[in-house]
Chains A and B, each alone.
Chain A
Amino acid sequence: MRSKTIKVDYLARVEGEGALYIKVKDGKLADVKLKIFEPPRFFEAFLRERNYTEAPDITARICGICPIAYQMSAVHAMEYAFCVKVEGQLRALRRLIYCGEWIESHALHVYMLHAPDFLGYPDAIQMAKDHSDIVQRGLQLKKIGNEIVALLGGREIHPVNVRVGGFYKVPSMQELAPIAEKLKWARDAALETVRWTATLNFPDFEQDYEFVALRHINEYPLNEGRLVSNKGLDISIQEYENYFIEEHVQHSNALHSAIKERGAYFVGPLARYNLNFDLLSPSAQEAARSAGLSPVCRNPFKSIIVRGVEILYACDEALRIIDQYEKPEKPSIQAQPTVATGFGCTEAPRGILYHRYSIDGKGIIVDARIVPPTSQNQKTIENDLWQFIPKYLHLPDERLTLQCEQAIRNYDPCISCATHFLKLHIDREQK
């Protein structure tokens, strides 16, 4: 029997630095480790002794792809602590900037990072030589998402216009109008994204996951809701730490998350979709059905279609918000700091992002905790690989490596956030 080790020393087309180690002994899978070796970044420690107003700008620096998610979880946590309720058009503008981030992040992942796996290209540059129109569509979609973030956030990378209580400056209707015109094109392009991704070949792979996502009473979740799962979890975000634990594992600089006494769970677009299908816009529901997706999908490879569905939803929602927009009188609501603990959990493109801050009477952060989506998905990614790899052990190492990388990219992992990704090492031990 053959034994071997396969190592991918740097996983490509994922955000941040990580590696994959696979050990095969006597022809059977003996070990799988998703190694996150990007060094710890100590953001929780940086936040101590900083003013509560600084949290959205400091945490936005954790990620260049999803800074809005960090800003939103931070401001919601602070507002919970100081009993501030942001409503009306300011609340709508927060959903709008989040839609921009979803469009930008999902378009990048679907077209530039994940599609080459399905079509057999090493990267998007090679794919672009044969599929120029498709790649250009992805780039245009990403650009429109970026424009929304830039308009509302002040700039597209590490935006600076979000604050506790609202924004520093809010846009006029005249400023939003050109974006609406572009979003009409983007909605058609998103629909085409769903149709096109549905034509890709998907491995026959389904698992009995516990999906976890926010669920709001009447809207597809972005900023607010209760934390629910398909296995009975239904809690307020303030109860997060009573139900979820983080564990250190030797091979990863990112903590592994688990549901107490149950283990691994799944966050991100597939979880949101499965738990909130009824709250998608009618056109997004219709597009999903037409693409052959039922309201519950357990094949993580089909997350590429679901990302397309979510791009479509984000375009619909952004257009709805702009259509109903009236410029608020004030760009923000004043917060009065008190001794308190605040909790925030919002839906980053990759899944739920939890923040908790303790604040003293002068508004100084005394303690901070941040749990990003990729660290929550690590156990599930490893579990997938344990189930997925045995079917492909007959493949040569190079092909096996590509299959594994594709499976990992189902989760659009952001290692920079999780600490934060990827190299592959396959060890086939020879007797």
Chain B
Amino acid sequence: MMFSDSITHGKSSILVIGVGNAYRGDDAVGLIVAQHLKKQILDHVNILEESTDGSVLTELWKNYDAVIIIDAVCSGAKPGTLHRFNASPQPIPTKYFHCSTHTFGVAEAIELARALKQLPQYLIVYGIEGKCFETGVRLSEEVEKAAQEVLKRVRQDIITLHHGKAQNNTKNTNIL
């Protein structure tokens, strides 16, 4: 397995990126999940918070075999709905991640990376359906609850990835 090779060389093999805007209500959820994960001791896992545009993602993940991205989405589903995409084998519908006002959102960045053959071997994307993206407000109750579920799921993904079982879990799902 590629992961095992990386781990034996003492390098983080899994990257978790929380994406969002800290000042716009539920858009902060990706950042908040990343902050919670940083407080936990996770071997061989690097955790980043990212608030610029999606074009930086390729650069961030270029040395990683497995990447997990967490972001807020506005697809019209019930607030708090958790979408999970295995983005390595199949495109992400752009409707799920289109909140960026300039340049690239997460979905566009992933599809551009796919066209450029720069996707990591495993790429899991969590999208948490937001309720309120107003400036200066806290996470909504629904999104707060979904964030706790994402934390559990990401921890499980990390264990699975360490055991090289990611390829067994390729279905896109709506979890909550």
What are the residues of chain A within 8 A of B101 when measuring CB–CB?
Answer: 16, 64, 416
Please tell me if the beta carbons of A125 and B117 are within 8 angstroms of each other in the complex: no
Question: Could you tell me the distance between the alpha carbons of A132 and B108 in the complex, rounded to whole angstroms?
Answer: 15
Contact of A135 with B by CB under 8 A? yes
Contact A139 to B115, CB < 8 A, known contacts A64-B101, A416-B101: no
Contact of A108 with B by CB under 8 A? yes
Chain B interfacial positions (CB closer than 8 Å to A): 51-53, 55, 58-59, 101-103, 108, 111-112, 115-117
What are the residues of chain B within 8 A of A156 when measuring CB–CB?
Answer: 52
Question: Could you tell me the distance between the alpha carbons of A98 and B175 in the complex, rounded to whole angstroms?
Answer: 46
B104 CB to nearest chain A CB (Å): 8
What are the residues of chain A within 8 A of B108 when measuring CB–CB?
Answer: 125
Partner of A108, one of B103, B111, B112, B117: B103
Interfacial residues of chain A within 116-147, with CB under 8 A of chain B in the complex: 124-126, 128-129, 132, 135-136, 139, 142-143
Query: In the complex, given contacts A124-B112, A125-B108, A125-B111, what are 4 additional A-B residue pairs having Cβ atoms less than 8 angstroms apart?
Result: A16-B101, A64-B102, A125-B112, A157-B53
B54 CB to nearest chain A CB (Å): 12
Please tell me if the beta carbons of B58 and A139 are within 8 angstroms of each other in the complex: yes
What are the residues of chain A within 8 A of B102 when measuring CB–CB?
Answer: 15, 64-65, 416
A sample of 23 cross-chain residue pairs with beta-carbon separation below 8 angstroms, ordered by A number, consists of A64-B101, A64-B102, A64-B103, A65-B102, A125-B108, A125-B111, A125-B115, A128-B112, A128-B115, A128-B116, A132-B115, A132-B116, A132-B117, A135-B112, A135-B115, A135-B116, A139-B58, A156-B52, A157-B51, A157-B52, A157-B53, A416-B101, A416-B102
What are the residues of chain A within 8 A of B112 when measuring CB–CB?
Answer: 124-125, 128, 135
Interface secondary structure of A, over-half rule = helix
Please tell me if the beta carbons of B52 and A136 are within 8 angstroms of each other in the complex: no
Q: Is the interface on chain A under 10, 10 to 19, 20 to 34, or 35 or more residues?
A: 20 to 34
What are the residues of chain B within 8 A of A132 when measuring CB–CB?
Answer: 115-117
Question: Could you tell me the distance between the alpha carbons of A38 and B126 in the complex, rounded to whole angstroms?
Answer: 30
Question: Could you tell me the distance between the alpha carbons of A132 and B117 in the complex, rounded to whole angstroms?
Answer: 9
A126 (CB) vs chain B CBs: closest residue: B115
Contact of A77 with B by CB under 8 A? no
Question: Could you tell me the distance between the alpha carbons of A411 and B82 in the complex, rounded to whole angstroms?
Answer: 40
A14 CB to nearest chain B CB (Å): 10
A156 (CB) vs chain B CBs: closest residue: B52
Please tell me if the beta carbons of B111 and A139 are within 8 angstroms of each other in the complex: no
Interfacial residues of chain A within 383-411, with CB under 8 A of chain B in the complex: none
Please tell me if the beta carbons of B53 and A143 are within 8 angstroms of each other in the complex: no
Contact of A75 with B by CB under 8 A? no
What are the residues of chain A within 8 A of B59 when measuring CB–CB?
Answer: 143
Question: Could you tell me the distance between the alpha carbons of A108 and B102 in the complex, rounded to whole angstroms?
Answer: 11
What are the residues of chain B within 8 A of A136 when measuring CB–CB?
Answer: 116
A17 CB to nearest chain B CB (Å): 9
Question: Could you tell me the distance between the alpha carbons of A165 and B101 in the complex, rounded to whole angstroms?
Answer: 31
B20 CB to nearest chain A CB (Å): 13
B112 (CB) vs chain A CBs: closest residue: A125
Contact of A20 with B by CB under 8 A? no
What are the residues of chain A within 8 A of B52 when measuring CB–CB?
Answer: 156-157
Question: Could you tell me the distance between the alpha carbons of A65 and B116 in the complex, rounded to whole angstroms?
Answer: 24
What are the residues of chain B within 8 A of A128 when measuring CB–CB?
Answer: 112, 115-116
A34 CB to nearest chain B CB (Å): 19
Contact of A112 with B by CB under 8 A? yes
Contact A139 to B53, CB < 8 A, known contacts A125-B112, A132-B117, A416-B102: no
What are the residues of chain A within 8 A of B55 when measuring CB–CB?
Answer: 139, 142
A306 CB to nearest chain B CB (Å): 21
